[in-house]
Amino acid sequence: MTFGVPFEELEVGGYRLRVKRAEDGIALYSRFDGEKEVVKIAVDPNLSLTVVPVEPFLNPRRDVVECVYLRLDPPITVRAGGNIEHNTYIPIDFAVVAQKSGEDFRVVDSFVNKGVVPKMALYGVPTNGYICRYFLATPLQEPKVHLSPVKLIINNNTEKVATVRNVVVPLQELAVFYKPGTWISYAAPIIMNIESETVAEISMATPEPPSADFERSPELPKRGIDIVEFGRDFIGLKELVKFKMIWGY
């Protein structure tokens, strides 16, 4: 089982993937749930199909999810003026990518591990909030195929002790790397700068692979974070690729 290489038949996430040549010369990609064919797509035979881990926004439907909502368990308490590094996980999706060498790619299928039901959450008020993939983030444990280790760097720039329970990460602040030939993936570190009791800034550290044998997953199109106003406050502010959690930590 491999990530990021062409395949003819492969089992991943509880599904069986298959590519075969049809009589009229086209290739047929299929995804099976047991014996049931749940996805069938005709593909140009000059394209190669690969499976790669990607940021968790392709499901339940592309362009719906805007952020990943991490609920830390247990919460992290940081001293005034202090900083801490916390190892945890983020969920990932699987993408089947069609591409000819050196050319643009197309995602032809995407899915999550069959044993996982993606949970959604609204961050903010019902009229102006962000739709998020919700995930209960626990400390680092034995790796799982559908989870990517990530380091959370928390800087408390206030004069008070802060307890961090929630971290909302915009999709454009996520980068996933994978090791071809294995099920190993890795997410670039996330930085949380606590500015006050009500505001924390979220950004991604420089997206570098953990070692030379890792490759970055395809950078899929992502929705931008706009300025959204309600009353006299802001829900989110995308400013120099920085995201503000207005409800604080």
Q: Where are the domains of the chain?
A: 54-91+115-245
Query: Would you state the pLDDT for residue 237?
Result: 40
Comparison of pLDDT for 85 and 171, the residue scoring more: 85
Strongest mean pLDDT among 47-56, 120-129, 156-165: 156-165
Spatial neighbors of 119 by CB under 8 A, at least 6 apart, are 133, 134, 135
Lowest mean pLDDT among 104-108, 200-204, 207-211: 104-108
pLDDT digits (tens, 9 = 90+) for 2-45: 567 668 898 988 999 999 987 777 899 999 999 999 999 999 88
Q: What is the mean pLDDT of residues 165-170?
A: 92
String of b and e for 12-37 (b: at least 16 CB within 10 Å)?
A: bbebebbbeeeeeeebebbbbeeeee
Query: Would you state the pLDDT for residue 63?
Result: 67
CA distance 190 to 226: 20
Comparison of pLDDT for 170 and 129, the residue scoring more: 170
How many helices and strands in the chain, by DSSP H and E?
0, 21
Examine the pLDDT at 235 and tell me if it is beyond 90.
no
> Percent of the chain at pLDDT above 90?
40
Instruction: Kindly report the pTM of this predicted structure.
Output: 0.83
Question: What integer best gives the mean pLDDT of the chain?
Answer: 83
Closest listed residue to residue 136, CA positions, set 200, 100, 90, 183: 90
> Percent of the chain at pLDDT above 70?
84
| Mode of pairing for the β-strands spanning 83-91 and 9-12 | unpaired
Examine the pLDDT at 84 and tell me if it is beyond 90.
yes
Q: What is the mean pLDDT of residues 163-186?
A: 89
Q: What is the mean pLDDT of residues 156-160?
A: 96
